Structure 1
Amino acid sequence: MNIMPATFRKLSHLTVELANPQRSDRFVRELRLAVRDGVFRAIFLKEYFVLPKEFRSGKKQRRTRDMLIECSDEFETWLAEINRELARPVRGAPVPVTERTVTTGAVNFDALAEATSELLERQRQSGQRLGQQHGRFVNKKS
């Protein structure tokens, strides 16, 4: 009987590797539900870690208990599916435009650059119109 040793992964490492680390709290919740339902096996560790999620206040951090997950075919399938699901932006919640979201491809840089160019052109035209109107009012007073 030749039993191969099982490979394990820590939850703290998995949350950093997510396609969208902002959804790490949801990932932890779904992982715990999957373990509870027997989709794959995992154990709690004594260590805690800070989720990679960034809050608007910048001061808040969420700590959670680390887990050791047994890597099986079921786990790998579940991980790929949940990662794909969490990578999609939440409907109704805009993805903030930051350097990180641009470099990861979460937002379309080309579309944003085009929108910025159009905005600057509209502002220039508005300023031109206001300047022309101001010139008419100044000339009438003289």
Structure 2
Amino acid sequence: MKKLFLLFTFCITLLATGFAQRKTDELAIRAVLEGHSLACLDADVEKAVSYYAHSPYVATAFSEPGYQRGYDAVAAAYRKEFANAQKSPDKLTTKAYRYRIVGNVAFVTYIETYTKPDGTVSTSHKAGYLEKENSRWKLIGNFWIPEKAP
């Protein structure tokens, strides 16, 4: 009976530890995704780029300047895009996060809504791919599609 109790306790401890790690990863990933979007709203290009892994397989796609691959190309595209940008007054909200975390990589889908001061709302469906770089989550893929008005 004592062995059964110890085995049960061990299993519960493993499950609790795994659940806690998953929640910790989800919160850290969400902080990266939201931090990146807020940096873009603030027109802080260096901060926005800092959320990406330094890797040749990093990729991003947005309306202008299009699809970029590799950290250097992504950073250059952001610097060009934000060269004359001003801080946006839009407010960001996010919802509907779905996480797939396997070891040191993660895939996340979610919805971002931007609200302008006049109340105009725009929504984007996003997909983020992340990996751990030096124990910190970093973007390796960042893609979004604006939601069309009905």
TM-score range relative to shorter protein = under 0.3
Higher relative contact order (CA 8 A, sep 6+): 1
Structure with the bigger percentage of strand: 2
TM norm structure 1: 0.27
Bigger Rg, structure 1 or 2? 1
